[in-house]
């Protein structure tokens, strides 16, 4: 079954589409609201004990769980360059700049990110952690699928659905992230599928994942923005390891103000791709096919 027609396509402009989406979401929420927590627990992003020796814990975890061997092979393709990158990451201690919920990897600021996205050779990997899929998600939570069904009252209230329905058809790879290895492998595949392009990412994840992913991601030159999730997040290695095998009883969220910032970036990117008629997107289908072996 092909992708459903995107909600944004049936409206004259971005503002109209977003307004109509939000109004419909509010209506659906009044009729049958999605399950969520009553009060945001405002958890610390990473527990103090978990933060101790986190770089080494991260490397150990990534190494031990690299079952496909794809991350390892990618790293050893350029041992000197990636090795130096890793040492630099370890010495720096922090692989990102922080701007509120945005973790910037290899990016000066959001304006720089948008400017780079607006270049004709830019490709955006936009990824959503399964931890903020609704409990009622028709595709299930711990999967890399999202049907963003136009008639579903669940998809109609889901921020992931909203973002996906706003995406342009060109130069974009939407992903629904199950594990830290999954996103690493998909980034590698995206680079291979788009030679001569700058592949940038915009992904949601818990702060712990952003720390772990950032360490190795920066070492191999991945650049983009990680969006910190709020709500019932994983902030210990134990909770993180459980979530990596689909055990995630809590609900993470993207706060409303951060949702608005994401939508503003997607808006700028959509405007930039809109002026390129006939720019087809070869990436997604190939990526899925090659990576599900
Ligand atoms: S939009 Fe996607 S992630 Fe959200 S509920 Fe629908 S299928 Fe699930």
**Tens of each residue's pLDDT in the chain, 293 residues:** 567 888 999 999 999 999 999 999 999 999 999 999 989 999 999 999 999 999 899 999 999 999 999 989 999 999 999 999 888 888 887 889 999 999 999 999 999 999 999 999 999 999 999 999 999 999 999 999 999 999 999 999 999 999 999 999 999 999 999 999 999 999 999 999 999 999 999 999 999 999 988 888 888 999 999 999 999 999 999 999 999 999 999 999 999 999 999 999 999 999 999 754 444 443 333 333 333 22
91 alpha carbon – ligand 1 mean position (Å)? 40
Structure tokens, 75? 């790293």
Name the one residue in this structure whose structure tokens are 């402009």: 13
Q: Which atom of ligand 1 is nearest to the CA of 149?
A: 6
Q: Which atom of ligand 1 is nearest to the CA of 158?
A: 4
Q: Which atom of ligand 1 is nearest to the CA of 147?
A: 7
Structure tokens, 197? 């392009």
Structure tokens, 28? 């659906």
148 alpha carbon – ligand 1 mean position (Å)? 5
- C-alpha span between 101 and 286 (Å, rounded): 32
132 alpha carbon – ligand 1 mean position (Å)? 10
Residue 195 CB partners (closer than 8 Å, separation 6+)? none
In terms of Cα–Cα distance, which of 240, 265, 236, 229 is closest to 107? 265
pTM: 0.90
Q: How far is CA 167 from CA 6, 17, 126, 216, 262, in A?
A: 8, 12, 9, 28, 12
- C-alpha span between 196 and 42 (Å, rounded): 42
67 alpha carbon – ligand 1 mean position (Å)? 28
Q: Which atom of ligand 1 is nearest to the CA of 176?
A: 3
110 alpha carbon – ligand 1 mean position (Å)? 27
In terms of Cα–Cα distance, which of 152, 174, 165 is closest to 11? 165
Please list every protein residue whose CB sits less than 6 Å from any atom of ligand 1: 133-134, 137-139, 146-148, 152, 154-155, 158, 160-161
């Amino acid at each position: 079954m092909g992708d459903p027609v995107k909600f944004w396509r049936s409206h004259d402009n971005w503002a109209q589409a977003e307004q109509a989406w939000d109004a419909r979401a509010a209506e659906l929420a009044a009729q049958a609201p999605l399950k969520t927590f009553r009060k945001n627990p405002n958890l610390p992003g990473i527990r103090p004990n978990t933060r101790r020796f986190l770089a080494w814990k991260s490397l150990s975890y990534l190494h031990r769980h690299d079952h496909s061997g794809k991350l390892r092979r990618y790293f050893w393709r350029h041992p000197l360059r990636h090795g130096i990158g890793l040492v630099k990451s370890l010495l720096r201690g922090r692989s990102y700049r922080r701007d509120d919920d945005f973790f910037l990897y290899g990016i000066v600021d959001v304006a720089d990110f948008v400017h780079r996205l607006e270049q004709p050779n830019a490709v955006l990997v936009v990824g959503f952690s399964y931890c903020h899929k609704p409990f009622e998600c028709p595709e299930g939570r711990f999967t890399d699928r999202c049907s963003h069904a136009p008639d579903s009252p669940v998809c109609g209230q889901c921020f992931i659905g909203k973002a996906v329905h706003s995406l342009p058809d060109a130069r974009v790879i939407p992903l629904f992230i199950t594990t830290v290895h999954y996103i690493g492998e998909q980034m590698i595949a995206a680079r291979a599928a788009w030679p001569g392009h700058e592949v940038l990412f915009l992904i949601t994840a818990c702060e712990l994942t952003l720390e772990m992913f950032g360490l190795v991601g920066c070492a191999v030159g991945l650049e983009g923005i990680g969006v910190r999730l709020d709500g019932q997040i994983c902030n210990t290695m134990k909770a993180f390891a459980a979530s990596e095998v689909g055990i995630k009883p809590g609900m993470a969220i993207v706060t409303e103000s951060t949702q608005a910032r994401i939508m503003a970036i997607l808006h700028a990117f959509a405007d930039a791709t809109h002026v390129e008629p006939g720019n087809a997107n070869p990436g997604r289908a190939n990526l899925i096919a090659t990576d599900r072996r």
